[in-house]
Amino acid sequence: MTDPAAVERDAAEAASAFAHPAVAPDVTAAYGQHPDHVVDFYAPRGETTGPVPLVVVLHGGAWRAPYDRQHATPFADFLARRGFAVANVEYRRGSSLPHQNAGTPVAGRWPETFDDVAAAMDALPGLVADALPQADVRRVVVTGHSAGGHLALWAAARHVLPHGSPWRLSAPPMLRGVVALAPIADFTVAEELGVCGGASAQLLGGADHWDERLPSADPAALLPTGIATAVVQGRDDIVVPQAVAEAYVAAAAKAGEMVGLTLLDGVGHFPLIDPAADACAVVAEEISQLAW
């Protein structure tokens, strides 16, 4: 049973992260026809000299419809105030109504969630040229929180997807690196721990599709990538526990790849994207180390 004090702390951290008002973007552009096929762009704040790195943000929320990119806009603005150009990506998530015998909204859509992330990443260089010309598309770092951390790792691993996958790239994506924040990075461990009420299995369409779809969706199965990767994780996270990140890092090591793991004492799930939290500054520094 989870410690009541830990639950109380997690609730307070979530309340703090979600208390910030949404920050309007400088430009919004579409990468497809669906209403969710949009990217919000944030220009770097203050004076800049020359092109600046682009940070692509993939928001979390267990791939569920009630959680859209708006809750990540204060984080996107925080990064813009650190001198980055920022692209906050929206994508299709699960139904807002419970189904598949689930007691909560179902996580993600197969294959639409993956279709959208792949399409957005492929479209970004062209969109950035018009929407955010000060962004240097040769210096791109992808970051994401929780379910978005999964998508960030997946976006960097498309060149190692199984042959025949519609999302597979013929060469590694042009990325400086990935900074995954408390990511759902190992689906098997996440399901064993009941992370987000079985969201990983729901994303894949349920138990009947688990074995078939896992090799195309689980970051722990898509290694090595050859892309510089860092994971930032709170030791006190009860939403996506530390064991999930450690399982991914171990899988990478087994595949011959080193993944950086930064564990933050006294930090839970939400401070990583809370501009008022010290942990958010740590995240910005991790991104800076890859981007500049």
**Each residue of 121-168: pLDDT tens digit?**
999 999 999 999 999 999 999 999 999 999 999 999 999 999 999 999
CA angle, corner 92, sides to 90 and 93, nearest 5? Answer: 110
Average pLDDT over residues 249-253: 98
Q: 96 or 289: whose pLDDT is higher?
A: 289
pLDDT band, residue 98 (cuts 50/70/90): low
Cα 158 to Cα 5, 93, 125, 152, 259: the distances in Å are: 40, 20, 17, 11, 17
pLDDT band, residue 1 (cuts 50/70/90): low
Tokens representing 52 are 């600046």
Whole-model pTM: value is 0.97
Q: How many Cα atoms are found within 13 Å in the side-chain-facing hemisphere of 51?
A: 15
The mean predicted confidence, pLDDT, of the chain is 95
Q: Are 136 and 54 in contact (CB under 8 A)?
A: yes
Cα 268 to Cα 74, 98, 117, 146, 246: the distances in Å are: 18, 27, 26, 12, 15
- What pLDDT, on the 0 to 100 scale, is given for residue 49? 76
Tell me which residue has tokens 């991104």: 287
Determine what percent of the chain is predicted with pLDDT higher than 70. Answer: 97
288 DSSP β-pair partners: none
